[in-house]
Amino acid sequence: MRKLLLALLCCAVFPAISWSQVKIKYTGDPLPSKAMGKIESMMGHMWDYYSSMGLKEAMEVELKVFKSKKEGYRYMRSLYPDDPNYIEQPHDKTMGGGLAAVYIPKKKLAVLLGIEHGTDEALTIIYHELSHHYTRMLFKGATYPPIWLNEGLAEHFECLKLKRSGVVSEFPHANKGKVKTLIMLGDLNLEKFLNFTQKEFMEMQRNEGQTCYSLAHVTVTVLLENLSVEQRNTLISQLQKRPVNSKVSDIVASIYPGGLPALEKEILEFVSR
Amino acid sequence: MKKFLFLALFFLCAAQALQAQTMYQLLKYPKMTIKGVWELSEHDNNVVQLNYYNNDRCPYLLYVIDNKKFYTVFPGKNTVYSKKRSAPDDPFSKNTYYFYRGKFPKNLNPAFVYAMPVAEGTEVEWMIDPRERMRSYFFKVNYADTVYAARSGMVCSSDFENGLLVYHRDDTFGAYLNLSQRFVDAGSIVKVGEPIGLAHMGGVSFSVFFLDENLFHADKPKSYPYSQITPYFRTDKGDVKLEKGVKYSAVKDDPLIMQEMSKSEQKRYLKNRKK
């Protein structure tokens, strides 16, 4: 009887989860059970979202958690001994920076490199990394997702909060502010940004801090707000089918009503709100 | 594999973290630069005033969290708040306020043309400073080569010896890093093209930035609320935003030097130049 009640309670708390499709394996240091419940609930929401864009394959992802960044970096160094990203820098301590988490597509593994900043912050990072997993699954067997779409969706899920009333998006003011400044300085080149390669995106990340993530987030949000479900799915489908050397900006321009000038205008309006 | 790994990298608080230590040190202001004192009003003994004394020659921004207001603290005495002595608590009583260098620019001109901070006519290689990043331009010159002011402005106070912070007329800052020697002290006015120091090993780093209102949120103070500008430089290839892999020579012609001069200053400059 007790077990039945517990099962009913779980269904009431996490109604969005399609259990047959969402599988997560926790390894490493344990997370509080409340946090695990939230992760699974968010995964259910992600599944609904991505399946509406055409994701069909059953998901399985491993989440490895390290309590301390030191341990997390040590683990990553054991996997990639030559990668300088996993050497802790002095400013990681003094300025709260450094890598927070990594998703390794080949292993379907999300690694959380430390939860020193608390469970709530860890959860947002986990949502971010899990979104990468879903996006990669959505583009499985197709051309790789454009970097702005991958990071923009991840930022979108990172900013979602689970409330009693449902899932609520809390768009960070800082993301809007950075894009607003980018536009104010005349540095927004949307066409170039949409066609960014991995390398170019990371170069912008190095030179401009979080601005490229903010722009990816704003762009994805504006697209989601203004495209119908049908248009959105057409966009995803065309991005999946695109030849490797094709211009992503042309695909976006052909689907977004009014093309890139209209998208740019909507972006400006969004960040000015 | 590495490519895919990079795809998933997520940098936490990168805006702060990517600021290297040198810029962070340059921006730190010396102790007692700003001093806040409750004082009796000179005109009314029943009124107390909160006065801030700014001992620097550049403005600061006071951000009070409790009333979510910004106050510009100019050099000298600034009365930011007054109240009757008997009045209850004020927004300053909780000590939740922050200071930042600079003030929000009102007439920012991103198209302003800067001089390259190196000797005129010498072709130099450049790159984004790997230590500073964030649009900091590292000009590869020899150790002890002279470094020149990229724009006219006022030198701000800083305890950091290997750099110079110059406050410009449009409320932007110019940061010169990796200096082995400084020729000018806090409070000095430098003119564009004027020698300001010597380069350290490898070269000199220069960046332009401003206190960015867009980065402030009502109740969230920022540790680095500045945005960097990609400056235009006057070069042998015109007024350009520097392109990767291209070498440039600095050009310091009269129109560039006279850009921010008043008409009388321009006349004087041209007259002296003829001599």
> Ranked by mean pLDDT, which of A61-70, B93-102, B219-228 comes out on top?
A61-70
Task: Report the gap between the CA of A37 and the closest CA in chain B (Å).
Answer: 23
Contact A103 B8 (CB under 8 A): yes
CA distance A99 to A129: 12
Instruction: Answer yes or no: pTM beyond 0.90.
Output: no
Find all residues with CB under 8 Å of A177, minimum gap 6, and list them.
A271, B212, B214, B215, B216, B217
- To the nearest whole percent, how much of chain B has pLDDT over 90? 60
Lowest-confidence pick of A187-201, A215-229, B54-68: B54-68
- The answer for A 116-155 residues in CB contact with B (under 8 A) is 117, 125, 128-129, 132, 144, 147, 150, 154
CA distance B103 to B54: 13
Find all residues with CB under 8 Å of B12, minimum gap 6, and list them.
A96, A97, A98, A99, A100, A117, A125
pLDDT at B205: 94
Contact A202 B20 (CB under 8 A): no
**Amino acid in the structure at residue B228:** Q
Lowest-confidence pick of A218-222, B39-43, B137-141, B142-146: B39-43
Q: Yes or no: say if A255 and A227 are a contact pair by the CB < 8 Å rule.
A: yes
Task: Report the gap between the CA of A206 and the closest CA in chain B (Å).
Answer: 6
**Structural tokens at position A129:** 């990394």
Q: Which residues of A190-222 are buried (b: 16+ CB within 10 A; e: fewer)?
A: beebbbbeeeebbebbbbbbbbbbbbbbbbbbb
Start-to-end CA span in chain B (Å): 66
Q: Between chain A and chain B, how many beta carbons pairs sit less than 8 Å apart? A: 125
- The answer for A 58-97 residues in CB contact with B (under 8 A) is 80, 83, 85, 89-92, 94-97
**Structural tokens at position A97:** 């920076």
User: Which of B1, B2, B13 is most worth mutating to test chain A (most A CB atoms within 10 A of its CB)?
Assistant: B13
Contact A104 B228 (CB under 8 A): no
* Candidate from B21, B128, B217 with C-beta closest to A173: B217
Q: Which residues does chain B have within 8 Å of residue A96's beta carbon, measured at their own beta carbons?
A: 12-13, 16-17
Whether residue A24 is predicted with pLDDT greater than 60 in this model: the reply is: yes
pLDDT at A89: 64
Question: Which one is predicted more confidently, A195 or A206?
Answer: A195
Contact B135 A208 (CB under 8 A): yes
Average pLDDT of chain A, as a whole number:
86
Tens digit of pLDDT for each residue in B89-143?
Answer: 776 776 678 889 999 999 899 999 999 999 998 899 998 887 766 688 999 999 9
Q: Yes or no: say if A144 and A155 are a contact pair by the CB < 8 Å rule.
A: no
Whether residue A144 is predicted with pLDDT greater than 50 in this model: the reply is: yes
Contact B15 A154 (CB under 8 A): no
Tens digit of pLDDT for each residue in B198-215?
Answer: 999 999 999 999 999 988
Q: Name the nearest CA neighbour of A18 among A42, A38, A47, A57.
A: A47
Q: Name the nearest CA neighbour of B56 among B43, B74, B38, B42.
A: B74
- To the nearest whole percent, how much of chain B has pLDDT over 70? 87
Compute the 3-state secondary structure of chain B and give helix, strand, coil in percent, each to the nearest 5: 15, 40, 45
pLDDT at B3: 43
User: Which of B1, B4, B11 is most worth mutating to test chain A (most A CB atoms within 10 A of its CB)?
Assistant: B11
pLDDT at B17: 35
CA distance B189 to A120: 49
**Structural tokens at position B154:** 């006022």
Q: Yes or no: say if A122 and B42 are a contact pair by the CB < 8 Å rule.
A: no
User: Do β-strands B172-177 and B204-211 pair in parallel, antiparallel, or remain unpaired?
Assistant: antiparallel
Find all residues with CB under 8 Å of A52, minimum gap 6, and list them.
A229, A233
* Residue A173 to residues A272, B54, B77, B108, B219, Cα–Cα distance (Å): 10, 31, 33, 22, 11
User: Which of A86, A176, A185 is most worth mutating to test chain B (most B CB atoms within 10 A of its CB)?
Assistant: A185
Average pLDDT on B233-258 reads 95
Give, to the nearest 10 degrees, the angle between helix A229-241 and helix A211-226: 130
Question: Which one is predicted more confidently, A15 or B49?
Answer: B49
Compute the 3-state secondary structure of chain A and give helix, strand, coil in percent, each to the nearest 5: 60, 10, 30
The ipTM, to two decimals, is 0.81
User: Do β-strands B204-211 and B137-140 pair in parallel, antiparallel, or remain unpaired?
Assistant: antiparallel
Whether residue B11 is predicted with pLDDT greater than 50 in this model: the reply is: no
Domains in chain A with CATH codes: 1-138 (3.40.390), 145-273 (1.10.390)
Contact A95 B17 (CB under 8 A): yes
CA distance A151 to A214: 9
pLDDT at A257: 96
Tens digit of pLDDT for each residue in B61-75?
Answer: 998 877 778 899 999
* Candidate from A96, A207, A213 with C-beta closest to B135: A207
pLDDT at A164: 83
A92 — pLDDT class (breaks 50, 70, 90): low
CA distance A199 to B3: 9
pLDDT at B21: 64
Tens digit of pLDDT for each residue in B167-176?
Answer: 999 999 999 9
CA distance B4 to A144: 10
**Side-by-side strand order, sheet with B76-84:** B34-40, B47-54, B76-84
Whether residue A90 is predicted with pLDDT greater than 80 in this model: the reply is: no
* Residue A18 to residues A45, A59, A109, A156, A246, Cα–Cα distance (Å): 9, 11, 20, 21, 36
User: Which of A188, A210, A212, A213 is most worth mutating to test chain B (most B CB atoms within 10 A of its CB)?
Assistant: A210
Considering only alpha carbons, which residue of chain B is nearest residue A186?
B110
Average pLDDT on A176-204 reads 91
Whether residue B7 is predicted with pLDDT greater than 70 in this model: the reply is: no
Average pLDDT on A106-123 reads 90
> 10 Å Cβ neighbour count for B125?
13
Domains in chain B with CATH codes: 25-101 (no CATH), 113-263 (2.70.70.10)
Contact B216 A177 (CB under 8 A): yes
Whether residue B2 is predicted with pLDDT greater than 50 in this model: the reply is: no
Lowest-confidence pick of A5-14, A95-104, A179-188: A5-14
CA distance B96 to B62: 11
Find all residues with CB under 8 Å of B21, minimum gap 6, and list them.
A90, A91, A94
Question: Which one is predicted more confidently, B164 or B88?
Answer: B164
CA distance A236 to B155: 53
Average pLDDT of chain B, as a whole number:
86
Whether residue A11 is predicted with pLDDT greater than 60 in this model: the reply is: no
Q: Name the nearest CA neighbour of B225 among B80, B71, B132, B103.
A: B103
pLDDT at A66: 93
CA distance A205 to B271: 48
pLDDT at B9: 38
**Structural tokens at position A74:** 């040590």
Whether residue B236 is predicted with pLDDT greater than 70 in this model: the reply is: yes
R_g over Cα of chain A: 19
A262 — pLDDT class (breaks 50, 70, 90): very high
Find all residues with CB under 8 Å of B63, minimum gap 6, and list them.
B69, B70, B71, B97, B98, B99, B100, B216, B221
A191 — pLDDT class (breaks 50, 70, 90): very high
pLDDT at B174: 97
- To the nearest whole percent, how much of chain A has pLDDT over 70? 87
